[in-house]
Structure 1
Amino acid sequence: MRISKVIIAYFITSFLLITSLRAQDRYQATWESLSRYKTAEWFRDAKFGIFIHWGVYSVPAFGSEWYPRQMYLAGSDEYKQHIATYGPQSKFGYKDFIPMFKAEKFDPAAWVALFKKAGAKYVVPVAEHHDGFAMYKTSLSKWNAFDMGPHRDVVGELAVEIKKQGLIFGLSSHRIEHWWFFNGGKKFDSDVLDPKYDAYYGPAHEENESMSPEYMNDWMMRDMELVNNYQPQLVWFDWWIEQPALSPYKKSFAAFYYNKATDWNKEVVINYKNTAFPENTAVLDIERGKQGEIRPLPWQTDDAIGNQSWGYTTNNTFKDARYVVTNLIDIVSKNGNLLLNIGPKSDGTITDQETQVLLGTGKWLDVNGPAIYGTRPWGIYGEGPTKSASGAFADQKDPFTWRDVRFTIKGDTLFVTALGLPDAQLSIKALSIKSGNGKIASVKMLGSNQKVNWKQKDDALLIEPSKTYPSEYAVSYAVLFGQ
């Protein structure tokens, strides 16, 4: 039986067309192609996640998670502390902390249960910090938690438990900064100079030295291995990926990751800082700071409960739950998410201070979650006398008060949240009759059946204080408009 040339041509044309369409659906390693990215809806809905800085640096527990760098910088507090406690760096180096990092009380199920009780919707453990010690099982380095120290695949165990308990799993890589992280140890007699440990302490170049193609390729290979092995739905990068030389590798990784997400039929997020990615190709993250106004594109604050350190130290001080809750509300009203960090101890336990902050935050979200989860910014983020911090490394120095209100919206419901518990009449100018934002039909307090006494006047919506409130720190009202 003969097949006509017309039929053959038809099938060839159809095959080429389908192949072409499929190729168009795939991301290419160009900023133009990557600009098709749309922020994951799960991320926009989640609003609140947990960051985990845990590694070998929790053993010395002094200064901060930058101890491994600082201990090799002559004259620093960490340098002096190290010699006084452990001896000279030539005899006892950072590598010698690894056998002391046992994580004997690490219970991933208990950790995730706590995060879930805190109201978090996603969890982002640090897969590898600047110190170059991988907290996961890797084929690219023997310096990892599976082959040394705890002898456990920490990231892998957390990934399984996070997904099992219904949260979104992400991870962070701080690997790129390792290029220069241990360079202080080359300037005096230390174990960084011992060629036996080049595979760990190296390259230890100066910050102004251009990265080698081999190093940048290794960075990308490690990130790809993490994606392939653990299927994270969020990958967070620290600031130094903004180096221009890394641009082709960033584009290649982003295309690879976004295409993997298509294969998995899942939505994913890349977090970057500063200008490391064009803003419409990934999601901006602001360290220990926030936006002063609504940002049209979704964004994220990464902040720590600990004030001095992201990792565990014995002298860290901590934010309280009220600070976390009121700033979460402020961030969400401006189209942002909060990624809140904890720093567990070297044995795998979470500090009592951080535990109490997490539980306090979760208790508030149990009542007021509808004003946070799944919401979107309104026309304005809020009003009130207290100036909001803005930018990176900008803590909220002036505490919010109940006279400060924030707006979020979901469907037909406008949520109005006072960043405190009003003990006098609450006046909201943006919801006055003259504002033109609509005639109010009802005002109800979340978590309570008690009647809310309110009146919409020409110059403001007035809400009378309640005798009791269903939660601490802040109160949310659901506002519906009439015709």
Structure 2
Amino acid sequence: MKRRTLLKAAVGAIPAMYLPGFLKANDFLNPLEVAGELMQKGPFKPTWDSLSNYQVPDWYRDAKFGIWAHWGPQCQPEHGDWYARKMYLEGTDTYKYHVQNYGHPSKFGFKDVINEWKADKWEPEALLEMYKNAGAEYFFALANHHDNFDLYPNKYQPWNSTKFGPKKDLIGGWAKAAKNHGLKFGVSVHASHAWTWYESAQFADKNGSFAGVPYDGNITKADGAGKWWDGMDPQELYAQRHALSTNENTAYSNIKIWEWQKGVSVPTKAYCDKFYNRTISLIDKYEPDLVYFDDTVLPLWPISDAGLKIAAHLYNKSIKKNGKLDAVLFGKILDEQQRKCMVWDIERGQSYEIEPIPWQTDTCIGDWHYDRRIYDRKGYKSAKTVIQTLVDVVSKNGNLLLSVPLRGDGSLDSQETEILAEISKWMAVNKSSVFGTRPWKILGEGPALDNVQPLKAQGFNEGKSKPFSSADIRFGQKDKIIFATILGAITSDKVLIKTFSTSKYSNKVKKVTLPGDSNPLNFTHNETGLVIEVPERLRGAYATVFQIV
């Protein structure tokens, strides 16, 4: 008998009770698969001391701006973020919307929302062209969210987009389009939290005609006989055959469920192993340049070393492929050592100083998952806000990752298209003042710096400081050029930059120009500062760049 046949025969003799829960005897075709995905060998080990040797690659430091398609089945209802959790919270706006539009969550759960999602207007090539024109140097696609649904094929999660919903390899489509447009490709991974995030699917109404009727979070494969999901186990999606989180977390507040060591229900080893295997297979199949984790530090830390192993695998695989470490990994709420191991990500917020190590802010022009109500009330961030945020973040040694929400069908709405077009116009003229730059000796000047707000949890200080005005200026440098960007409408014929007072700046200013224009502008450089005469065509602009030599 051949070795593989012998192996199958041997495994077939093992009682089923001793086999891993998601495997069957016929799956054991390769002895290496018994333990799951192998971690790539290399210089990086799954320890903090080893990972602290990481160096952020120059390409990422140069790139500065990325666009993110935070898009999955939770966009199908077009009713905002965390739909798959909130639809099970009785009395919430999302619950009421769900009951009205789909039915009671005991009868029509999130698995059924997935079945409705077809993504029939998704055109990745056209979208990536728009993102590229808007100045993006890298692109992120959502690989999975807390809803536990993978947007790529893999043997570890049968609930994925190739079998349900669109029935397409969405990550594969995104990856191909990014490559075709010369953009670095990233994936965001959020599924580690499904264990607690989905606990609301175990609840039941406390009031009304459905009081006491459980939602569909505990249903099993046996319940699917004759239904559209016949033969599938919903627990592979919901992961809810476990006790609810205890004590104060029973109320299921947003933040207290997040950190595993604070009293929440702790996942099983099988759950952690499955997450590891899903993520390693994602990295191996698509070889992303960037990986974003929506986790405190790393996924499942500190109850599991899965995140450490994934980090070491990503770095070692990048070295093997490129001959050097070109990959970028992101985590949130990092201590001093952990910031050396990966890029610190701040959600919907910014640092208030020049950080010694490159970092990133991630934000969205609307809600993380598409919300039609924001379109209806014209509530998106403007191109002005996006560009001013980018310039501010870059002055502090940061990058900006901007989510532009896609509708459930995979298309952009008309307002989002207009915002991207306006960003494109600014980038066409001023891109050189952002990309490839490094922080100057100070980040800038102006009243907004006197009103900075501290970070809360993973960020969330966005929009809480004083609005920018023409007195707010941010600096950057490249090739002996200092870029000074005025973050507000210029209303007069002159601009004063106090930082360049001859008492503070001893160098002589030789020339002031505009990006893409070699014609010098008139200026005066004295004890007061640098006074630049502003061409009339620039008055009223919200982010005017001056090049100072």
Q: Partner of 1:245: helix, strand, or coil?
A: coil
3-state DSSP of counterpart to 1:280: helix
State the match for 1:160 in structure 2.
176
Who is 2:524 aligned against? Answer: 455
Give the direction of change, closer, same or farther, for the CA distance of 1:452–1:227 in structure 2 (3 Å limit).
same
Map of 1:313 onto structure 2 = 371
What amino acid is aligned across from residue 167 of structure 1 in structure 2?
A: L
How far apart, in 1, do the equivalents of 2:304 and 2:219 lie? 33
Alpha-carbon distance in 2 for matches of 1:71, 1:24:
43
1:376 counterpart SS class: coil
Hey, what does 2:283 align to over in structure 1? 227
Query: Contact 1:289/1:389 (CA < 8 Å) preserved in 2?
Result: no
Q: Deviations over 1:402-440 (max 9, x none)?
A: 221110011211111111342222211211211134111
Whether the 8 Å CA contact 2:470–2:487 is kept in 1: the answer is yes
CA contact (8 A) 1:291 1:389 kept: no
Counterpart for residue 395 of structure 1 = 462
Instruction: Assess if the C-alpha contact under 8 Å between 2:301 and 2:307 holds in 1.
Output: no
Question: For residue 190 of structure 1, what is the aligned residue in structure 2?
Answer: 215
Single out whichever of 200-209 and 347-356 deviates more from structure 2. Answer: 200-209
Q: CA deviation at 1:337?
A: 0.4
Q: Which residue pairs with 1:127 in the alignment?
A: 143
| CA distance, structure 2, for counterparts of residue 52 and residue 32 of structure 1 | 33
Q: Note if contact 1:430-1:437 (Cα within 8 Å) is conserved in structure 2.
A: no
Deviates more, 1:222-231 or 1:211-220: 211-220
- SS of 1:182's partner is helix
AA of the residue aligned to 1:281: C
Tell me the TM-score normalised to structure 2 length: 0.80
Provide, for residues 177-221 of structure 1, a one-character-per-residue CA deviation record: whole Å limited to 9, x for no partner: 111122112122111121222111113653411222211111111
Cα distance in 2 for partners of 1:79, 1:432 equals 59
Q: Matches of 1:216 and 1:246 in 2, distance apart?
A: 9
CA distance in 2 between counterparts of 1:285 and 1:321 reads 22
Q: TM-score, normalised by structure 1?
A: 0.90
Taking the aligned partners of 1:269 and 1:164, their CA distance within structure 2 comes to 20
Aligned counterpart for 1:372 among listed residues 434, 438, 443? 434
The question of whether the paired residues in 2 share the 8 Å contact of 1:423 and 1:466 is answered with no
Contact 2:359 2:397 in 1 (8 A): yes
What secondary structure does 1:409 align onto? Answer: strand
1:139 and 1:99 map into 2 onto residues whose CA distance is 20
What residue is the counterpart of 2:89 in the other structure? 73
Amino acid of the residue matched to residue 481 of structure 2?
T
1:239: how far off? 2.3
Return closer, same or farther for 1:110/1:24 CA change in 2, 3 Å cut-off: closer
Q: Give structure 1 stretches of 5+ with no counterpart.
A: 1-22
Q: Give the whole-Å Cα distance in 2 for the aligned partners of 1:25 and 1:152.
A: 34
SS at match of 2:340: coil
Contact kept in structure 1, 2:515 and 2:546, CA below 8 Å: yes
Change (3 A) 1:390 1:472: farther
Moved more, 219-228 or 466-475: 466-475
The question of 1:351 aligning with 2:413 is answered yes
- Identity level (%): 36
Q: 1:107 Cα deviation (Å)?
A: 0.6
The aligned amino acid for 1:439 is K
SS of equivalent residue, structure 2 residue 403: strand
Task: Please tell me whether the aligned partners of residues 490 and 542 of structure 2 are also in contact (alpha carbons under 8 angstroms).
Answer: no
Any idea what SS the aligned residue of 2:355 has?
A: coil
Partner of 2:250: none
Residue ranges of structure 2 left out of the alignment (5+ in a row): 1-39, 205-213, 222-233, 246-256, 258-263
Secondary structure in 2 aligned to 1:87?
Answer: coil
Partner amino acid, structure 1, of 2:77:
P
After TM superposition, the structure 1 = structure 2 runs for residues 27-426 of structure 1, keeping only pairs within 5 Å, are 27-62=44-79, 64-188=80-204, 189-196=214-221, 197-203=234-240, 205-206=244-245, 207=257, 208-240=264-296, 241=298, 243-246=300-303, 248-265=305-322, 267-275=326-334, 278-306=338-366, 309-316=367-374, 317-387=379-449, 388-391=452-455, 392-397=459-464, 398-424=466-492, 425-426=494-495
Could you say what secondary structure the match of 1:434 adopts? Answer: coil
Count of aligned positions: 455
Q: Is the 8 A contact 1:367 1:471 kept in 2?
A: no
Q: 1:440 is paired with a residue of what secondary structure?
A: coil
Distance 2:299 2:475 in 1: 34
